[in-house]
Amino acid sequence: MKGSADQYAVVGHPVAHSLSPFIHSLFARQTEQSLTYRLMDVAPERFTERLQEFFTAGGRGVNVTLPHKTRALALADELTERARLAGAVNTLAVRRDGSLLGDNTDGAGLVQDLSVNLGWPVRDRSILLIGAGGAARGVIAPLLALAPRRIVIANRTAERAVALAAVFAGLGALEGCGFEELGGQRFELVINATSASLTGDLPAVPAAAFGADTLCYDMAYGRGDTPLTRWARELGCRDAVPGWGMLVEQAAESFRLWRGVRPLTAPVLAALTGRTAMPGGSAD
Ligand code: ATR
């Protein structure tokens, strides 16, 4: 019955560009779940009020995107451990007793895309994480949980990278620095967690960070290459992928939290990009 479908939404500002309604509608069709999922453009000062209205009216859950992820953290009655570590919430779910659970599925989405879709084992590998904002913070603990040899966080503003590394120091081999301090070090995985791609910019990491076998993963996505994946290819990197897989996988994790069933992601990823699950595959 259409009228009784459970309601979900993605909350952002702006949010019109979001692909989440498309992704979740495919998940719902595939798993035969009766739900609606819509866009909610909410200005920062109205976040709490609008969400309370949504949940009072029977809404079951939301995805939260920029610029609201720390506001959602404050709104949740309880946090998952990964949301607490990420310092941000991208998924809110109403529980049986009416309380709000805050989760963060971004890191799990990245790790799932790397390990399963791309068939790239993180264990014992060296990782360069570019950026020290919220996007970088969200993926550190899930990556460290897979026991990489080391993670170096490099950021345009070096102090932010050093401070971020200190937050997670107890969880694994982690250090923070500025771009120039990277020197000639080469990494097996380079992840771009800066917002530079969104403005068409290239973070000023040394070319030496990339070898032919380096996987270059840009958490940003768009049509074709991002500035970083294009540059990595020019440097001779065989595998350079934008973050479509992370987008779909974090959505699948949210869907599972809400509905208790994890949808298959490969058909949805293929519908978005033409990318199919294959080791070392390219997103193009
Ligand atoms: P988010 O929550 O999306 O990570 P943020 O907290 O504003 O957003 O962080 C943005 C990140 O992108 C930061 O690491 C920022 O570097 P600074 O800390 O030096 O500002 C990085 N960034 C943005 N534009 C960049 C650019 N053109 N080159 C390199 N890094 C950039």
User: Nearest residue CA, atom 6 of ligand 1?
Assistant: 133
The domain locations on the chain are 2-104+245-282, 119-242
pLDDT value of position 284: 29
Whether 173 shows a pLDDT value over 60: the answer reads yes
Q: pLDDT tens across 209-227, in order?
A: 999 999 999 999 988 899 9
Q: Average of pLDDT values for 120-131?
A: 98
Within this chain, domains 2-104+245-282 and 119-242 share the same CATH topology = yes
What's the gap in Å between 53 CA and the centre of ligand 1? 33
Indicate if ligand 1 lies below 6 Å from the C-beta of 159. Answer: no
What is 119-242's CATH number?
3.40.50.720
Concerning whether 2 is annotated as a catalytic residue, the answer is no
Cβ-proximal residues to 23 (8 Å cutoff; 6+ apart), any chain: 247, 248, 251, 268, 272
Sign of the torsion formed by the C-alpha atoms of 122, 241, 221 and 209? positive
* Cα–Cα distance for residue pair 172/123, rounded to 1 Å: 12
Catalytic residue among 24, 69, 125, 137: 69
Q: To test ligand 1's pocket by mutation, which of 66, 179, 194 has the most ligand atoms within 8 angstroms of CB?
A: 194
State whether the beta carbon of 131 lies less than 6 angstroms from ligand 1: yes
Percent of the chain at pLDDT exceeding 70: 95
Question: Is domain 2-104+245-282 classified as CATH 3.40.50.10860?
Answer: yes
Q: What is the pLDDT of residues 63-121, one digit of tens each?
A: 999 999 999 999 999 999 999 999 999 999 999 999 999 999 999 999 999 999 999 99
Atom 4 of ligand 1, residue of closest alpha carbon: 133
pLDDT for 87 equals 96
End-to-end CA distance of the chain: 39
When the pLDDT of each residue in the chain is averaged and rounded to a whole number, the result is 94
